[in-house]
Amino acid sequence: PVLDDGKDYHFPTRIVLARIVTEAQRIHRQPAPLALKLFRPDSQYEDEQLLAVTLAMGDMLAASKYQHWAGLGPVERNVLGFNPADRNMERVFRTLDWLERRAGANGFWPNEISIQDVVLACLILWSESRGAIEWRGRPKLESIVARLKDRASFVATAPLPWPPTQADQP
């Protein structure tokens, strides 16, 4: 994503998230369910790792999906010995298992919706609209997605299904 604040464009995703949190801190006057910080002072490295790994998982997920949609795959003699799209999906599933082990009953942070929760839910819901992946069966991650998917901000920005249906085309 790219954030256009009217003065400049901000990217990549990590910078966009930081700008959103900074703006939320500026305008929010009361306790919010969404944590108004990217990292907790007492858990900064763990929180930073969660965010970095989750964003990297999103890159792997998108790369795999785009490769399949484009019809790209090994041709002739596959010198790699594997299909990169399949390897990326293996990494996605291992990352989901890793995230499941680190999540708590209410998400990655107790008593707050963290940016890490939001990023995970966005990626899972994006995949649901683009050809579901096998993410279910991880109860803590299921809980995070269930807690966020019906929030107004998620409903308002839900990705359209892909490929587009006939009704979506001009």
* pLDDT at 145 (0 to 100): 97
Could you give the CA distance from residue 153 to residue 139 in angstroms, rounded to a whole number?
Answer: 23
The tens digit of pLDDT for each residue in 26-47 reads: 887 666 678 889 999 999 999 9
74 has a pLDDT exceeding 90: no
Predicted local confidence at residue 21, as pLDDT: 86
Q: Give me the mean pLDDT over the 85-89 stretch.
A: 93
Percent of residues, the chain, with pLDDT higher than 70: 93
State the sign of the Cα–Cα–Cα–Cα dihedral 156, 170, 9, 43: positive
Task: Report pLDDT for 75.
Answer: 73
Q: What is the pLDDT of residue 170?
A: 47
- Over range 68-91, report the average pLDDT: 83
Q: Is the pLDDT of residue 4 over 70?
A: yes
Choose between 119 and 3: higher pLDDT. 119
- Checking if the pLDDT of 162 tops 80, the result is no
Q: What is the 3-state secondary structure (H, E, C) of the chain?
A: CCEECCCCEECCHHHHHHHHHHHHHHHCCCCCCECCCCCCHHHHHHHHHHHHHHHHHHHHHHHHHHHHHCCCCCCCCCCCCCCHHHHHHHHHHHHHHHHHHHCECCECCCCCECHHHHHHHHHHHHHHHCCCCCCCCCHHHHHHHHHHHCCHHHHHCCCCCCCCCHHHCC
Whether residue 63 is predicted with pLDDT greater than 50 in this model: the reply is yes
